[in-house]
């Protein structure tokens, strides 16, 4: 279980994460939603130890250190691979450092996305780079797979394919924490939604709870975020009034 | 050990082919221009115009071997500095999650860089030696003695710097430069990943080009090399201390 307790992260005087507490048991697909700058990426990077922070993050009761960091993997739209290396070279390299690296999964996903194994990654398109980033994260044998906007730049067909593959290949012990703005697209396959706003967790709901309440994920998010439907209309009215004057 | 070798392999895969291409180009250019100069010198000698060029060290100077060597050195330094930098991807996210520590990655990158600089020096020495042998085979017997190649390595400043023979001070200087260059080229990507700027390699490259070629008995250059080495080591230590503080701070914050 990944447990985050009273996590506080500040950049200068700006508080990016404000007393965040969250528990992620194994075997869930969790959507992490929030506006730009809400703290999604900071939360993920803090979990991975890329940022210093106040509070506590533990994995099965133990702090996250180089000893257990391989139980977490990370796919980011910023990309974390080596652009000059080929996909095959990445496989060889990751195999040495992540003992649970799955060759089979790597092969299957490479075939599925039709990615070239012997071309340097710098020659891949943005969509292909995203796909490869996700492949690497899924093949490391990690129990917790953190994905930060992994499909930025991919077309809808590509993303649909990916969701189907993800559901098909995940093992029962694998947890995915998926940060995305594509709420409608992921609403069908996530089991839980966590909402973050101004660095605070403002909502945490399971798919079953939403079903019981008869709410869609989008409606729940809008409600939790106090989204005002009339906001745009009011601005337009104000502008036209100013024009009249 | 496999993990360690894979880190070495990571850097080799990122730059070795380019480095070999540079060495091939350097060798090709030197052989081509040396051959042309040798032909011209032999024609002049046979026409009794003069034999001013007819020593291997003069031919090597005329061929501008030092310029080709300097160009190769600059390109190779560039290729060594790039792997591990975050241009186009945040490789640091992966490097921090490996089964070996980031310090170990840094160490292996330093080792790899030193090996590549050694390869450059060895390649240049072998090419120069080969060119000298070519000279001895091509010129009339009266121009050659069994000391010709040996003397060329003493008289040519570049060849003497590459293979200082009995010049102990120069051997020490070369070792200091080799260590400093390897370390500085590894510091550059390491600091770049943390959005810091490493000035060592920028200062070290022109300094190396300035002091590398020198004649016998100029001990001042060894002192300069020692100062350069000290400067790079200081940057490394200060970086390690700052990073150490950061990690310590992180731990302290975690337990707060």
Confidence of residue B50 (pLDDT cuts 50, 70, 90): low
In a domain, A60, yes or no: yes
Note whether A6 contacts B: Cβ–Cβ < 8 A. Answer: no
Q: Do B250 and A97 touch (CB under 8 A)?
A: no
CA–CA separation, B59 and B65 (whole Å): 9
Q: Do A70 and B101 touch (CB under 8 A)?
A: no
Residue at token pair 């129990």: A143
Window from A154-163, B112-121, B161-170, B214-223 with minimum mean pLDDT: B214-223
Is the model's pLDDT at B90 over the cut of 50? yes
Tell me the pLDDT of chain A averaged across its residues: 88
CA–CA separation, B70 and B206 (whole Å): 10
Confidence of residue A239 (pLDDT cuts 50, 70, 90): confident
CA–CA separation, B85 and B87 (whole Å): 6
Which A-chain residues 174-213 have CB contacts (< 8 A) with chain B? Answer: none
Q: Tens digit of pLDDT for each residue in A17-44?
A: 999 999 999 999 999 998 888 899 999 9
At A8, is the secondary structure helix, strand, or coil?
strand
Q: Do A76 and B246 touch (CB under 8 A)?
A: no
Please state the pTM of the whole predicted model: 0.83
Q: How far is A237 from chain B (nearest CA, A)?
A: 44
Note whether A96 contacts B: Cβ–Cβ < 8 A. Answer: yes
In a domain, A90, yes or no: yes
Q: Do B250 and A49 touch (CB under 8 A)?
A: yes
Q: Tens digit of pLDDT for each residue in A180-221?
A: 888 888 888 889 999 999 999 999 999 898 889 888 888 888
DSSP string, B27-55: HHHHHHHHHHHHHHHHHHHHTTS--TT-S
In a domain, A239, yes or no: no
Residue at token pair 């190779």: B76
**Spatial CB neighbours of A14, under 8 Å, sequence gap ≥ 6:** none
Task: Considering only the beta carbons, identify the residue of A69, A85, A96 that sits closest to B97.
Answer: A69
Residue in B85, B82, B110, B80 with CA at minimum distance from that of residue B95: B85
Strand A29-33 vs strand A192-197: parallel, antiparallel, or unpaired?
parallel
Confidence of residue B218 (pLDDT cuts 50, 70, 90): low
Structural domain count of chain A: 1
Cβ distance A98 to A141 under 8 Å?
yes
Which B-chain residues 65-104 have CB contacts (< 8 A) with chain A? Answer: 82-83, 87-94, 96-101
Residue in B197, B102, B92 with CA at minimum distance from that of residue A79: B92
Q: How far is B195 from chain A (nearest CA, A)?
A: 14
DSSP count for chain A of H helices, then E strands: 9, 10
What percent of chain A shows pLDDT beyond 90?
Answer: 50
Window from A86-95, A219-228, B43-52, B246-255 with minimum mean pLDDT: B246-255
CA–CA separation, A217 and A197 (whole Å): 16
In a domain, A127, yes or no: yes
Window from A101-105, A193-197, A223-227 with minimum mean pLDDT: A223-227
In a domain, A122, yes or no: yes
Q: What pLDDT is stored for residue B52 in this prediction? A: 63
Cβ-based contacts of A97 with chain B (< 8 Å): 3, 6, 98-100
Window from A201-215, A229-243, B76-90 with minimum mean pLDDT: A229-243
Q: What pLDDT is stored for residue A240 in this prediction? A: 76
Q: What pLDDT is stored for residue B215 in this prediction? A: 56
What percent of chain B shows pLDDT beyond 70?
Answer: 90
Pick the residue from chain B with its C-alpha nearest to A73: B97
Cβ-based contacts of B15 with chain A (< 8 Å): 84
Strand A200-206 vs strand A192-197: parallel, antiparallel, or unpaired?
antiparallel
Cβ distance A186 to A26 under 8 Å?
no
Cβ-based contacts of B94 with chain A (< 8 Å): 80-82
Residue at token pair 């506590």: A56
What percent of chain B shows pLDDT beyond 90?
Answer: 34
Residue A117: domain span: 2-207
CA–CA separation, A114 and A111 (whole Å): 5
Note whether B189 contacts A: Cβ–Cβ < 8 A. Answer: no
Task: Considering only the beta carbons, identify the residue of A69, A78, A85 that sits closest to B14.
Answer: A85
- Positions of E strands within A149-237: 175-179, 192-197, 200-206
H helical segments located in B90-147:
91-95, 102-138
Is the model's pLDDT at B252 over the cut of 50? no
Is the model's pLDDT at B256 over the cut of 60? no
Confidence of residue B253 (pLDDT cuts 50, 70, 90): very low
Note whether A98 contacts B: Cβ–Cβ < 8 A. Answer: yes
Tell me the pLDDT of chain B averaged across its residues: 85
Question: Which two three-digit tokens encode residue B2?
Answer: 């496999």
Q: Let me know the angle formed at the C-alpha of A157 by A151 and A163, rounded to the nearest 5 degrees.
A: 60
Question: Which two three-digit tokens encode residue A201?
Answer: 């967790």
Counting one residue from chain A and one from chain B, the pairs whose CB atoms sit within 8 A come to: 84
Q: What pLDDT is stored for residue A24 in this prediction? A: 93
- C-alpha torsion angle, residues B170, B176, B181, B187 (rounded to 10): -170
Q: What pLDDT is stored for residue B23 in this prediction? A: 97
In a domain, A237, yes or no: no
CATH number reported for the structural domain that contains residue A97 in this entry: 3.40.50.300
- Report, as an integer, the average pLDDT of B105-113: 93
Note whether A152 contacts B: Cβ–Cβ < 8 A. Answer: no
CA–CA separation, B34 and B38 (whole Å): 6
Q: Tens digit of pLDDT for each residue in B146-158?
A: 888 888 888 888 8
- Report, as an integer, the average pLDDT of B167-179: 87
Q: Is the dihedral of CA B40, B41, B45, B49 positive or negative?
A: positive
Q: What pLDDT is stored for residue B250 in this prediction? A: 40
In a domain, A23, yes or no: yes
Interface test with A, best of B89, B90, B247 (most A CBs within 10 A): B89
CA–CA separation, A2 and A194 (whole Å): 14
At A80, is the secondary structure helix, strand, or coil?
coil
Residue in A47, A201, A200 with CA at minimum distance from that of residue A192: A201
Q: What pLDDT is stored for residue A127 in this prediction? A: 87
- C-alpha torsion angle, residues B119, B123, B126, B129 (rounded to 10): -130
Note whether B238 contacts A: Cβ–Cβ < 8 A. Answer: no
Q: Do A81 and B91 touch (CB under 8 A)?
A: yes
In a domain, A44, yes or no: yes
Confidence of residue B53 (pLDDT cuts 50, 70, 90): low
Distances from the Cα of B118 to the Cαs of A110, B7, B224, B226, in angstroms? 39, 19, 20, 18
Q: How far is B179 from chain A (nearest CA, A)?
A: 26
Q: Do B254 and A54 touch (CB under 8 A)?
A: yes
Residue in A71, A80, A133, A140 with CA at minimum distance from that of residue B93: A80
DSSP A77: T
Cβ distance A82 to B10 under 8 Å?
yes
Pick the residue from chain A with its C-alpha nearest to B95: A80
Q: What pLDDT is stored for residue B217 in this prediction? A: 59
DSSP string, A111-137: HHHT--SSSBGGGS-HHHHHHHHHHHH
Q: What pLDDT is stored for residue A139 in this prediction? A: 94
CA–CA separation, A143 and A147 (whole Å): 13
Cβ-based contacts of A50 with chain B (< 8 Å): 93, 96
Cβ distance A146 to A44 under 8 Å?
yes
Q: What pLDDT is stored for residue B249 in this prediction? A: 37
């Amino acid at each position: 279980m990944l447990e985050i307790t009273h996590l506080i992260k500040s950049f200068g005087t700006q508080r990016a994460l404000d007393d965040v507490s969250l528990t992620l048991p194994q075997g869930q697909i969790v959507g992490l939603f929030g506006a730009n700058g809400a703290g999604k990426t900071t939360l993920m990077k803090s979990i991975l130890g890329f940022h210093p922070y106040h509070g506590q993050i533990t994995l099965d009761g133990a702090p996250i250190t180089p000893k257990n960091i391989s139980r977490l993997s990370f796919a980011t739209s910023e990309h974390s691979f080596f652009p000059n290396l080929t996909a095959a070279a990445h496989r060889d390299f990751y195999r040495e450092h992540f003992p649970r690296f799955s060759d089979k999964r790597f092969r299957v996903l490479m075939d599925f996305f039709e990615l070239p194994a012997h071309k340097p990654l710098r020659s891949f398109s943005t969509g292909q780079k995203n796909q490869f980033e996700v492949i690497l994260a899924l093949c490391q044998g990690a129990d917790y797979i953190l994905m930060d906007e992994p499909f930025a730049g991919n077309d809808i067909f590509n993303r649909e394919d990916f969701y189907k593959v993800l559901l098909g290949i995940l093992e029962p012990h694998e947890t995915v924490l998926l940060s995305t703005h594509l709420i409608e697209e992921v609403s069908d396959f996530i089991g839980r939604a966590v909402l973050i706003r101004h660095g605070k967790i403002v909502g945490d709901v399971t798919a079953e709870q939403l079903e019981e309440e008869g709410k869609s994920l989008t409606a729940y998010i809008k409600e939790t975020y106090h989204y005002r439907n009339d906001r745009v209309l009011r601005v337009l009215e104000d502008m036209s009034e100013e024009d009249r004057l | 050990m496999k993990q360690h070798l894979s880190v070495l392999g990571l850097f080799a895969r990122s730059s070795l082919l380019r480095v070999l291409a540079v060495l091939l180009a350097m060798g090709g250019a030197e052989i081509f221009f040396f051959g042309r100069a040798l032909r011209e010198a032999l024609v002049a000698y046979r026409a009794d115009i003069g034999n001013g060029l007819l020593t291997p060290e003069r031919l090597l100077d005329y061929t501008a071997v030092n310029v080709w060597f300097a160009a190769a050195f600059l390109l190779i330094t560039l290729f060594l500095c790039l792997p591990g930098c975050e241009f186009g991807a945040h490789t640091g996210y992966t490097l921090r999650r490996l089964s070996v520590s980031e310090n170990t990655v840094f160490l292996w990158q330093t080792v790899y860089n030193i090996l590549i600089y050694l390869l450059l020096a060895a390649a240049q020495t072998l090419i120069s030696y080969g060119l000298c042998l070519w000279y001895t085979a091509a010129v009339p017997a009266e121009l050659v003695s069994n000391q010709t190649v040996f003397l060329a390595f003493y008289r040519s400043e570049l060849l003497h710097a590459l293979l200082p023979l009995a010049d102990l001070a120069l051997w020490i200087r070369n070792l200091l430069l080799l260590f400093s260059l390897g370390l500085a080229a590894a510091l550059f990507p390491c600091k770049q990943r943390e959005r810091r700027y490493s000035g060592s390699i920028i200062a070290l490259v022109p300094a190396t080009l300035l002091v590398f070629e020198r004649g016998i008995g100029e001990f001042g250059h060894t002192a300069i090399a020692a100062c350069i080495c000290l400067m790079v080591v200081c940057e490394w230590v200060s970086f390690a201390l700052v990073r150490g503080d950061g990690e310590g701070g992180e731990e302290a914050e975690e337990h707060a």
